[in-house]
Amino acid sequence: MLKIAISQQNYHIGNFSANIEKMIGAIRQAEAAGVDLLVFSELSVCGYPARDFLEFEDFIRQCYAAVDTLCQHTDKVAVIIGCPQRNPRKEGKDLFNAAWLLEKGRVKAVAQKTCLPTYDVFDEYRYFEPAFEWNVIPFKGRKIALTICEDIWALDENPLYRVCPMDELIKAGPDLMINISASPFDYDHDEDRKEVVRANVLAYKLPMVYCNAVGSQTEVVFDGGSLVYNASGELVRELKYFEEDFAIVDLDDSMFLTGGSSVVARKLDKEMRVSKVKDPEMIIPYLTDPNNMRQIHAALVLGIRDYFEKMGFSKAILGSSGGIDSAVTLAIACEALGKENVRAVLMPSGYSTSHSVDDAVQLSRNLGNPYDIIPIAPVYDAFLSTLSPIFKDLPFGIAEENIQSRTRGNLLMAIANKFGYILLNTSNKSELSTGYGTLYGDMAGGLGVLGDLYKMQVFAMARYINRNGEIIPENIIVKPPSAELRPGQKDSDSLPPYDLLDKVLYQYIEKHQGPQEIIAMGIDAALVNRVLKLVNSNEYKRNQFCPIIRVSAKAFGVGRRMPIVGKYLS
């Protein structure tokens, strides 16, 4: 019998001392429990994704030094870690993404990653060379097939990769699969991961130990949920989601028995990497599904908390308008950082309604966070007076509207600079998609909290936050959205209804559907063409936006790379 432990940990990229200390702590815990083998996640030594840090030789030297340090703690328990490995061949990239087995003070074996994802937020072929060879690793009478993350995703009828490493490893007769992973969260993807692990187990008739990363690295959130399946495809152990966890599993003879189970693997294909919603009428119900809201809420809390802790900040500030976006952002930030560490600033103008101020005040009273009220009329009037010789008698328009938004942005950044806050941006994905925002105004910020949530999801998130009682005042949720930059302004003056807009945006952004496919769903052609033109002509705005916490299969930022200067659909 093998006693295997999984340590699902939250690493800090490039913080070798902290990462090593955390891993040594888990090794001691495993030693005390009489564990044979302890498994960590992908690139655990340096953190994932290390990106261009991997191009620095000093960074790689520190990775190797960390391996040497960890080796010193393997007298009683063997460990599997993730760490870059130098490529001894002149041909190809200089590094492998590797899994290292350390035992009795030395490196016993190393397995290199074969399938290097280069899509969405992944860019591994920029840094790593695919594996050249595949060998099982003998360990205490068993033979281990050791793979890394994407290596187990090549098992489908239309794979992204020409080589499936498990097809090569199975030739050597392994007894056990171990996969170390850094698989990010998105609400389109969570169940797919379990299906992929199960499919591998059923295909190769071997048990699998799967260790995933947890924690947020700027915009990418890793949700943990490490898994153990027996050879019959039955789930034996599932670790916590969105938090660190440690679990021990005894791999006795029953774990290696096949048959006697009714478990059937789902068919796998490339569609697993994009949304699976086929019926356009189900898009909004799917996006706003309560289970999705629960997971997204946990991801956003973790995303905010880790961003602040890993950057060395503790306090946040945001503009509180009495609208739903700022309300949801404020509520989530208070949960992530503590209500005393989140400062709301209400900045009414002459176009702000009295109930917006009242709603924003009531929200902060419900949450218990500090807030200030700073009317912007004096600053706004000073801008207009200064610009009057240039503006002359031209009619009120978008310039005057944006001055209000930029006044608020300046005030927020001034307070943030003075007191060491990070400004949280409150723009949602529907607004960012269509360019409905002001550069250097309401688009200012250090971290985008709602930038990967469509407007209909923001409404659903408000309901989720209020699931146990009213936190966000009902009036904030039910009133028509408005930027309040001119008399009687409503979002619907400039944009289609959000339930229709989000349906079009989701098809285009997440599912990569073109105008003809979307029109064929029964949506007005003029509206579709208008919306897609707005999306593509506002890429320059999004390119200047802050990092966005990613919760979907296709978020704005590093995972969506579009030309700024382009003619397609614009």
Is 310 considered catalytic here?
A: no
Interval 460-488 mean pLDDT: 89
Q: Is there a binding annotation on residue 325?
A: yes
* Res. 258 pLDDT band, cuts 50 70 90: confident
Q: Is there a binding annotation on residue 420?
A: no
Interval 468-484 mean pLDDT: 90
pLDDT of residue 485: 67
Interval 396-403 mean pLDDT: 94
CA distances from 542 to 258, 517, 562 (A): 51, 25, 10
Q: Is there a binding annotation on residue 364?
A: no
Cβ atoms within 10 Å, residue 52: 11
The answer to which of 38-47, 243-252, 254-263 has the lowest mean pLDDT is 254-263
Interval 256-262 mean pLDDT: 70
Interval 423-450 mean pLDDT: 97
Strand pairing partners for 245?
8
Instruction: For residues 425 and 546, give the distance between their C-alpha atoms in angstroms, rounded to a whole number.
Output: 8
- The string of DSSP letters for 6-34 reads EEE----TT-HHHHHHHHHHHHHHHHHTT
Q: Is there a binding annotation on residue 319?
A: yes
What percent of the chain stands above pLDDT 90? Answer: 87
What percent of the chain stands above pLDDT 70? Answer: 96
* Res. 265 pLDDT band, cuts 50 70 90: low
Q: Is there a binding annotation on residue 103?
A: no
Catalytic residue among 3, 22, 113, 511: 113
Name which of 13, 18, 87 is nearest 53 in CA terms: 13
pLDDT of residue 487: 76
Res. 259: pLDDT tops 80: no
Interval 363-383 mean pLDDT: 97
Is 270 considered catalytic here?
A: no
Sign for the CA dihedral angle at 288, 290, 295, 297 comes to positive
pLDDT of residue 278: 67
Q: Is there a binding annotation on residue 119?
A: yes
Cis before 49? omega within 30: yes
Res. 430: pLDDT tops 60: yes
pLDDT of residue 543: 96
Instruction: For residues 389 and 167, give the distance between their C-alpha atoms in angstroms, rounded to a whole number.
Output: 74
Catalytic residue among 46, 63, 115, 149: 149
Interval 255-282 mean pLDDT: 65
Q: Is there a binding annotation on residue 36?
A: no
Q: Is there a binding annotation on residue 372?
A: no
pTM confidence score:
0.95
Is 211 considered catalytic here?
A: no
List domains and CATH numbers for the chain: 2-258 (3.60.110.10), 280-543 (3.40.50.620)
Strand pairing partners for 241?
224
Instruction: For residues 531 and 434, give the distance between their C-alpha atoms in angstroms, rounded to a whole number.
Output: 7
pLDDT of residue 155: 81
Each as own residue / partner, the long-range contacts of residues 460-463 (CB below 8 Å, 24 or more positions apart, any chain) are: 460/287, 460/288, 460/290, 460/293, 461/293, 461/296, 461/297, 461/328, 461/332, 462/324, 462/327, 462/328, 463/293
Res. 210: pLDDT tops 60: yes
Interval 87-100 mean pLDDT: 96
Task: Summarize pLDDT for 42-52 with one digit per residue, the tens.
Answer: 999 999 999 99
Interval 102-124 mean pLDDT: 97
Strand pairing partners for 101?
80, 109
Catalytic residue among 3, 22, 42, 310: 42
Res. 376: pLDDT tops 80: yes
Q: How many residues does the chain have?
A: 570
Q: Is there a binding annotation on residue 402?
A: yes
* Res. 322 pLDDT band, cuts 50 70 90: very high
pLDDT of residue 275: 53
Instruction: For residues 138 and 103, give the distance between their C-alpha atoms in angstroms, rounded to a whole number.
Output: 12
pLDDT of residue 480: 85
* Res. 388 pLDDT band, cuts 50 70 90: very high
